[in-house]
């Protein structure tokens, strides 16, 4: 009996909080973040958090910042997001692909809260999606990888089979192949975004099989450590610069820079001008940063990579420019044709030359 009363009171309070939120006088905008990993993972989550902190610094006292780290993808995410919405957040950023459905589900229950989901594709009136064109950075990595490898074997630690990861593999492969027709890609899927022990094992397996360049789409710096111990193996920072592993093994990196976007979106909430958008920015706006290419890379290769970076930034070059065939040999892009955003967003095939099957 007593317990039931308690539950009813609790539910009532929660409901009141939810309903009362829009009406409540707000001097501060409450901004929430849901992270998939710990804020010190050295990669993906850490960079979202850094960008969020930059946003907080920009606004100072005008915003109240809350976050929850290491939220598992799946049903528990829904609970975490709901809790944050009940806690009075005005805008909630959910920063992993697997938060897509939970975010959309929670958003229908809280029409007055704004949601921003990273790397997904399901939009709603109060759900924006944003992502970065990491494949632009992968084109530069592929070019560097193809040039510096001497064994012609390039390892790729892939995380979760979603279009974003597959785009990265394809883009890197196309550009490595372009500068070095003999390259071969060895791909290992670990089915997780962050598992340092598995990442280290995967990197070691790749190195033992003769790869002297290891690309990663996972979040920790463990592969760099494995490469450093092996010696003579090149790696690239992922999501963060990972400069502490430079100049060897880390020779460049893709740096996620979300801060301008976060500042922009929170400003929109403060101004009351927020509307649902689909943002997909790349090198040109700085959302994708290319980390300093270290000096162990020959100067002419460095110049080549930097020229590609500048061409992509200027919109003169698209990493997916035909002719490109799919893995089975069927034509995808004709000579000079560039991939549409729709094609890229749903990409679930390897390009011709990549071996193996994509796990489904």
Partner 1 sequence: MDINPILLLAALMVASTPILLAAIGELVVERAGVLNLGVEGMMIVGAVCGYIAGHSSGNPYFGFVGAACAGAVVSLVFAVLTQFLLTNQVATGLGLTMFGLGLSSLIGQDAVGSPDLTVAKLSFPILSDIPVLGPILFRHDLMVYLSIVIVAGVWAFLKYSRAGLILRAVGENHEAAHALGYNVRRVRVFAILFGGACAGLAGAYISLVRVPQWIDGITAGAGWIALAIVVFASWKPWRLIAGAYLFGGVTVLQLNLQAEGLKIPVEYLSMAPYLATIIVLVMIRAGRAPASLGKPFHPSS
* Residues in region 19-38 near partner 1 by CB under 8 A: 37-38
Binding region for partner 1 (CB under 8 A) out of 79-87, 123-131, 135-143, 185-193:
185-193
Q: Is 195 in the site for partner 1 (CB under 8 A)?
A: yes
Per the CB < 8 A criterion, the answer to whether 287 and 51 are in contact is: no
Residue with tokens 């012609």, as numbered in its chain = 152
Q: Least distance to partner 1 from the beta carbon of 6, Å? A: 23
Give the helix, strand, coil percentages of the chain, each rounded to 5: 40, 20, 35
- CA 184 – CA 161 distance, rounded (Å): 20
The residue within the footprint of partner 1, chosen from 22, 247, 331, 356 (CB under 8 A), is 356
- CA 320 – CA 170 distance, rounded (Å): 9
Binding region for partner 1 (CB under 8 A) out of 59-67, 189-197, 298-306, 336-344:
189-197
Distance of CA 163 to the CA centre of its chain: 11
In 159-277, where do the E strands start and end?
A: 184-189, 213-216, 234-239, 250-256
The residue within the footprint of partner 1, chosen from 198, 248, 268, 301 (CB under 8 A), is 198
Q: Is 264 in the site for partner 1 (CB under 8 A)?
A: no
Report the 10 Å Cβ neighbour count for 163. 18
Q: Which is nearer to partner 1, 182 or 244 (CB)?
A: 244
Q: Is 295 in the site for partner 1 (CB under 8 A)?
A: no
Q: Is 340 in the site for partner 1 (CB under 8 A)?
A: no
CB-based contacts of 169, cutoff 8 Å, min separation 6:
138, 156, 158, 185, 187, 217, 350, 354
The residue within the footprint of partner 1, chosen from 272, 336, 342, 359 (CB under 8 A), is 359
* Residues in region 137-166 near partner 1 by CB under 8 A: 153, 155
The residue within the footprint of partner 1, chosen from 70, 108, 278, 284 (CB under 8 A), is 70
* Residues in region 204-223 near partner 1 by CB under 8 A: 204-206, 208-211, 220-222
Per the CB < 8 A criterion, the answer to whether 293 and 305 are in contact is: yes
Q: Is 197 in the site for partner 1 (CB under 8 A)?
A: yes
Per the CB < 8 A criterion, the answer to whether 39 and 45 are in contact is: yes
Binding site residues, partner 1, CB under 8 A: 37-38, 40-42, 70, 153, 155, 186-189, 191, 194-198, 200-202, 204-206, 208-211, 220-222, 225, 228-229, 244-245, 355-357, 359
């Amino acid at each position: 009996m007593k317990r039931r009363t308690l539950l009813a009171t609790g539910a009532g309070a929660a409901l009141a909080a939810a309903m009362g939120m829009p009406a409540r006088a707000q001097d501060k905008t409450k901004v929430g973040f849901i992270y998939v990993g710990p804020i010190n993972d050295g990669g993906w989550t850490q960079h979202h958090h850094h960008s969020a902190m930059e946003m907080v610094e920009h606004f100072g006292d005008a915003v109240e910042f809350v976050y929850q780290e290491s939220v598992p993808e799946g049903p528990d995410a829904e609970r975490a997001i709901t809790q944050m919405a009940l806690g009075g957040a005005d805008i909630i950023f959910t920063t992993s692909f697997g938060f897509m459905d939970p975010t959309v589900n929670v958003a229908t229950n809280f029409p007055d809260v704004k949601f921003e989901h990273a790397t997904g594709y399901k939009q709603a009136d109060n759900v924006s999606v944003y992502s970065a064109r990491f494949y632009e950075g992968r084109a530069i990595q592929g070019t560097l990888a193809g040039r510096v490898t001497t064994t012609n074997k390039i390892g790729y630690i892939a995380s979760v089979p979603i279009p974003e990861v597959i785009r990265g593999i394809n883009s890197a492969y196309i550009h490595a192949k372009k500068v070095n027709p003999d390259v071969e890609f060895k791909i290992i899927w670990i089915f997780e975004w962050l598992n340092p022990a598995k990442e280290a094992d995967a990197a070691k397996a790749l190195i033992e099989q003769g790869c002297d360049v290891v690309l990663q789409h996972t979040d920790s710096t463990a592969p760099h450590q494995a490469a450093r111990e092996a010696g003579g193996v090149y790696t690239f920072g992922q999501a963060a610069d990972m400069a502490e592993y430079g100049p060897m093994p880390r020779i460049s990196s893709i740096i996620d820079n979300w801060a301008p976007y976060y500042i922009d979106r929170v400003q929109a909430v403060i101004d009351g001008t927020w509307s649902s958008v689909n943002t997909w920015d790349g090198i040109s706006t700085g959302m994708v940063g290319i980390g300093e290419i270290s000096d162990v890379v020959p100067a002419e290769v460095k110049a080549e990579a930097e020229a590609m970076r500048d061409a992509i930034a200027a919109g003169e070059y698209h990493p997916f420019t035909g002719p490109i065939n799919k893995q089975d040999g069927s034509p995808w892009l004709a000579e000079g044709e560039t991939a549409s955003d729709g094609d890229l967003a749903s990409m679930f095939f390897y390009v011709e030359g990549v071996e193996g099957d994509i796990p489904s």
